[in-house]
Structure 1
């Protein structure tokens, strides 16, 4: 299937590893120009080099997305470098799973406000695009109570609500907004690898909850994200796509 991404310009936060990197790679393979951001300079440089080696137009910057000015500066720089913005993918989380005030503060600034500020900063360019889309990565923790902390699940649910509101508000302008809610996703350098190495009992518990007997691979989530972001999904807006291997038991109506 041709996703219609050739020549489009896409931004991906948290694009140096895991789901974000795979989103950037798939976008690039489909002919889109891509800009990524992440906190670690070496990871950003490596990801951008990999994208360019594949023949893609790629740009990257070191950004702490909880910093409003840094995030807005990256969006503006990326738009100038790529010649505009058609697609934004918000894929950063503080992963604040503790049950304390610091977790609420971190989740608000990184998960929630990063999403809001990304959309707001990109809006002048999205309004000019004929294929504008916003895709925000939420989590199955926003759908049901699980072993993560209350702040994490609350903000992941809020992101879905926020995107649904955007979809309704922006539909007349032809700007789509959707979310993807992944289940547990395993990759090198990711949180679940860290838990496997340092908290094996928790890892075993989490693994046992999924009837598939495994966790997702980042590309399995990224394919769904990119499809929703692409013109191939042109009539899909206001949707939350759950990709969890039947982990969650709630019925999404």
Structure 2
């Protein structure tokens, strides 16, 4: 299937590692120019170098999405440099799970407000595109009550609500969808850390998935790339769960 991404421009937050990097690589492999950001400057430089050596047209910039002015400047600069924006992917998360006041504040600033600010900054350019698309990254923790039911799960659920609202408000102009991954394992990721530091929790989480494993970042990225692409022209307002049958709730 031709995803019709050749010559398109996409922006991805949190694109230097894990799911975000897999999304950047997936979009670029389909022919898109991808601007990505992350907070760690060295991590951005390393990821950009590696992906460029692989032949991808990617452009990394160190940006902390909790800095609204810096985020908006990055979005506007990318739109100017690349002649517009066709898709944005809001991927950054504070991964703040324990229910402390600091984690509630961090989740709001990063997961929620970081997404809203990204969309607000990119919307003028997205509306000028003939295939404008927004994809937000939520989680199965936003759909079911699990060990992350505090700030992390609450704001992941709020992202789904926000995105579906965008889909209706922007219908016919810009599409908006959510992808909700289950547990995703990658080197340096949260589940590798849990495996090392809390093996009981890791075993419990692994045991819940009937596939017997966790997702790989590229498996989530494929869903994101499709929804971001012009190939998904009539899909808007959906929450695509990518969890290997982990969750047992029925989406009606």
Q: 1:63: Cα distance to partner?
A: 1.0
- Does structure 2 conserve the Cα–Cα contact (< 8 Å) formed by 1:96 and 1:149? no
> What SS class does the counterpart of residue 128 from structure 2 fall into?
coil
Say yes or no: does 1:159 pair with 2:159: yes
- Does structure 2 conserve the Cα–Cα contact (< 8 Å) formed by 1:13 and 1:20? yes
TM-score by length of 2: 0.98
Q: Aligned residue for 1:9?
A: 9
Q: Aligned residue for 2:192?
A: 193
Runs of 4+ aligned structure 1 residues displaced above 6 Å come to none
- Does structure 2 conserve the Cα–Cα contact (< 8 Å) formed by 1:5 and 1:27? yes
Q: 1:139: Cα distance to partner?
A: 0.3
Unaligned 5+ runs, structure 1 = none
Q: 1:54: Cα distance to partner?
A: 3.1
| Cα deviation code 1:91-112 (max 9, x no counterpart) | 0110010111111111100000
Q: Counterparts of 1:23 and 1:150 in 2: how far apart (Å)?
A: 27
Q: 1:232: Cα distance to partner?
A: 0.8
Q: Aligned residue for 2:228?
A: 229
Q: 1:80: Cα distance to partner?
A: 2.0
Q: 1:84: Cα distance to partner?
A: 1.1
1:1-253 to 2 correspondences below 5 Å:
1-173=1-173, 175-253=174-252
| Cα deviation code 1:12-34 (max 9, x no counterpart) | 00100111101111111111000
> What SS class does the counterpart of residue 242 from structure 1 fall into?
strand
- Does structure 2 conserve the Cα–Cα contact (< 8 Å) formed by 1:59 and 1:78? no
Q: 1:224: Cα distance to partner?
A: 0.3
Q: Counterparts of 2:113 and 2:181 in 1: how far apart (Å)?
A: 20
Q: Counterparts of 2:249 and 2:227 in 1: how far apart (Å)?
A: 22
Q: Counterparts of 2:182 and 2:97 in 1: how far apart (Å)?
A: 15
Q: Counterparts of 1:179 and 1:143 in 2: how far apart (Å)?
A: 12
- Does structure 2 conserve the Cα–Cα contact (< 8 Å) formed by 1:59 and 1:81? no
Unaligned 5+ runs, structure 2 = none
TM-score by length of 1: 0.97
Count of matched residue pairs: 252
Q: 1:170: Cα distance to partner?
A: 0.4
Q: 1:45: Cα distance to partner?
A: 0.9
Q: Counterparts of 1:58 and 1:148 in 2: how far apart (Å)?
A: 33
